[in-house]
Amino acid sequence: MKDVAKLAGVSPITVSRVLNRPEIVATGTAERVREVIERTGYVPNLLAGGLASRKTKFVAAIVPAISNQVFSEAIQSLTDRLWESGYQVLLGTSGYPASREEDLLAAILSRRPDGIFLTGISHSAESCRRLVTANVPIVEVWDLTPTPIDMLVGFSHENVGHAVAEHLLGRGYVRFGVISADDARAEVRRKAFLSHLSTRGIADLSTVLVPAPSSFRLGREGLGRLLEEAHLPLAVFCSSDTLAHGVLAEARSRRISVPGNLGIVGFGDLDFAAHTFPPLSTVRIDRTAIGRRAADALLGRIEGKDVERIADIGFQVIERGTT
Amino acid sequence: MKDVAKLAGVSPITVSRVLNRPEIVATGTAERVREVIERTGYVPNLLAGGLASRKTKFVAAIVPAISNQVFSEAIQSLTDRLWESGYQVLLGTSGYPASREEDLLAAILSRRPDGIFLTGISHSAESCRRLVTANVPIVEVWDLTPTPIDMLVGFSHENVGHAVAEHLLGRGYVRFGVISADDARAEVRRKAFLSHLSTRGIADLSTVLVPAPSSFRLGREGLGRLLEEAHLPLAVFCSSDTLAHGVLAEARSRRISVPGNLGIVGFGDLDFAAHTFPPLSTVRIDRTAIGRRAADALLGRIEGKDVERIADIGFQVIERGTT
DNA sequence: CGGAAATTTGTTATCGCTATCATATTCCAA
DNA sequence: TTGGAATATGATAGCGATAACAAATTTCCG
């Protein structure tokens, strides 16, 4: 920067201004400086800039796994929206369960992000303390709680459980099962599903728990295990479309008629859900909206605006061919 | 850091050493310092550290879109492998086509990454110049060229085209079609496919081009368009499993027998490929290996090791039920 | 027990930029 | 013409760490 300044016949601070607040520099000067920058191929150092200004222009995002479509789409829209405002995304994957979250958070806070995007609302006590101390805008997503650390963009997993139960009851099913990954949010949906059914006098239902992350194979095996203790006709609520897809395949191979003898509801409305045979009934979450609104929340807070702390983006039970 | 040093009765540089090179600090001293760090909740500032040491401990990754499973899995394994060595990943999505790549690169280079992961081998002249000037380890992936900017982990799209053609010829198909996304790499596969067939005296084949990114719907429509100019029996090579999935669905709805009257080959071996009905023949790329080996290449170069510049990870034609 | 080698700790000078305050220049109405 | 606001630029002092070298302390062996 010093060299650029010398070549342009100005002081370094003027170069800095041309780059960051061009509106306060005389047009002629700015042009001259820009020409030198172009000619020399000068690349500013954002580390130094960030150190001096305490603004790093990036946001850290923590998700359990980016290879999960559900999260990758949210990250995509987060990245896109932030890019428009000149921010970038530092990615961290915490794993299932969030075994690395604490270390990850420490590593991330060392970089002084301007904002943090966190998947889920349950973090270790130590993590929470660090986050609060860091005094940085934080948005938690994928869940709802009245007491977020800072901001929140999510939906009620409890309501999902209720809504799916209600939907299946409406379709006339009287026996129910759950195939669920071992995951905190899936667990909330499962419990709500059960409790809703029990308020309707239905206590008779079996649960199969499978390890996270869920997979097609686990879905197939899950149905097998479920049918050892439950008998048809039956409606199954799966904690993900991936599991549901496996259940559907297993049903076909056992020549169980879907939705006649076996109702299936997934979760997520992944790409393939509308294209299975029959197409999968499921719960749709607007993943893109999560990323976008989370970005807006962070940007708003960064700019010191008054942003709403909690956004419930809801969900939709999608009735297709498996119920 | 100064405060921690004072409380521990040492100089700041000793604190720095406890954090970065604990092996050269006396155990007693280190323990004392660590206790103070713990007690005060001191969070080191990696911006300042990076500025002084010229090591930022992160790698930038540019992919067209993270919501594409093909890339998200590579990023996942990249992130995982780098994490083990204390590095993090800054994510950038360049879009289809790579419209944002140049700006993205500028933004990224400003942060002085210790390494760069780039999808693809075709970059603008300006981008290449910047990358070379930056003098930072770079690994390009998903393609093969004898002249990478720095390092390369990929496979030959040309060979994929040849191999698929050979496979289909072996299955007895005599008429062929291509449904391909408008994407540079897909184009290479398509051309190789055609040229391989033409060496076998087959010139009669139709191509349908669809815009990227590909989707189930584009696959369905693609088959419709293809059948306007080609007639069955036919074998179709799709540029992605997603397209192939759509083709398969369209074939079913038109009551075209697969693989009897219509052979289908996808590309990517995505999650669902083995679970369509019939299961999809496709080309498998070890996406996880790409991320892992790219990480190893970058880490090796960062540590000053002599790493092999070009790694061909190959591919596999997977014969399932649609050919 | 002496002195060279090995180990441990400290001093100083940056790294490349921006915040803050100060100064110079321009503009315009009186 | 003049003085005060508005505009444009500059000087200085950090931001919070580490590199490089220097000094102090300990270790070790004949």
Amino acid at B179: I
Could you tell me if A10 and A94 lie in one domain?
Answer: no
Could you tell me if A162 and A277 lie in one domain?
Answer: yes
- pLDDT score, position A205: 85
Q: Degrees (nearest 5) of the Cα angle B73, B178, B168? A: 85
Helices (H), B145-302: 157-170, 184-199, 216-229, 241-253, 287-302
**Taking CB atoms and an 8 Å cutoff, what residues of chain A touch B58?**
90, 111
How many Å apart are CA A162 and CA A283, to the nearest integer?
A: 12
The domain in which residue A266 lies consists of 157-284
Could you tell me if A218 and A277 lie in one domain?
Answer: yes
- In-domain check, residue A322: no
B266-281 pLDDT, tens digit per residue, is: 999 998 899 888 999 9
- pLDDT score, position A212: 87
State yes or no: pLDDT of B98 exceeds 80. Answer: no
Q: What is the CATH number of the domain that holds B18?
A: 1.10.260.40
Residue B283's nearest CA partner among B312, B313, B317 is: B317
State yes or no: pLDDT of B97 exceeds 80. Answer: no
What share of chain B has pLDDT > 70, as a percent?
100
Residues of chain A numbered 164-203 and touching chain B (CB < 8 Å): none
Q: Look at B76 and A93 and tell me if their CB atoms are within 8 Å.
A: yes
Q: What is the CATH number of the domain that holds B190?
A: 3.40.50.2300
Spell out, as residue ranges, where chain A has pLDDT lower than 50: none
Could you tell me if B217 and B235 lie in one domain?
Answer: yes
User: How would DSSP label each residue in B150-162?
Assistant: SEEEE--HHHHHH
How many Å apart are CA A252 and CA B204, to the nearest integer?
A: 39
- pLDDT score, position B100: 87
Measured CA A80 to C1' D4 distance, in angstroms: 48
Residue A200 backbone phi and psi in degrees, to 5: -95, 15
**Taking CB atoms and an 8 Å cutoff, what residues of chain A touch B253?**
none
Q: Look at B88 and A109 and tell me if their CB atoms are within 8 Å.
A: no
Q: Look at A130 and B51 and tell me if their CB atoms are within 8 Å.
A: no
- Give me the mean pLDDT over the B164-178 stretch: 96
B249-303 pLDDT, tens digit per residue, is: 999 999 999 899 999 999 999 988 998 889 999 999 999 999 999 999 999 999 9
Q: Which residues lie below 8 Å from residue A295, measured CB to CB, with a gap of 6+?
A: A59, A77, A78, A81, A82, A85
Cis peptide before A113 (omega within 30 of 0): no
- In-domain check, residue B323: no
How many Å apart are CA A177 and CA A234, to the nearest integer?
A: 7
**Taking CB atoms and an 8 Å cutoff, what residues of chain A touch B295?**
none
- pLDDT score, position B276: 87
- pLDDT score, position B204: 77
- pLDDT score, position B96: 78
- pLDDT score, position B212: 86
Could you tell me if B177 and B279 lie in one domain?
Answer: yes
- In-domain check, residue B20: yes
pLDDT band at B122 (very low <50, low <70, confident <90, very high): confident
Interface test with A, best of B69, B271, B290 (most A CBs within 10 A): B271
**Taking CB atoms and an 8 Å cutoff, what residues of chain A touch B88?**
90-92, 107-108, 111
- pLDDT score, position A49: 96
- In-domain check, residue B322: no
Look at chain B and report how many structural domains it folds into.
3
Could you tell me if A26 and A38 lie in one domain?
Answer: yes
- Give me the mean pLDDT over the B222-243 stretch: 94
B111 closest CB neighbour out of A46, A76, A91: A46
Decide if B42 touches A, using CB distance below 8 A: no
Could you tell me if A267 and A195 lie in one domain?
Answer: yes
Could you tell me if A150 and A294 lie in one domain?
Answer: yes
Residue A41's nearest CA partner among B28, B119, B52, B106 is: B106
pLDDT band at B232 (very low <50, low <70, confident <90, very high): confident
Interface test with B, best of A275, A276, A286, A292 (most B CBs within 10 A): A275
- In-domain check, residue B318: no
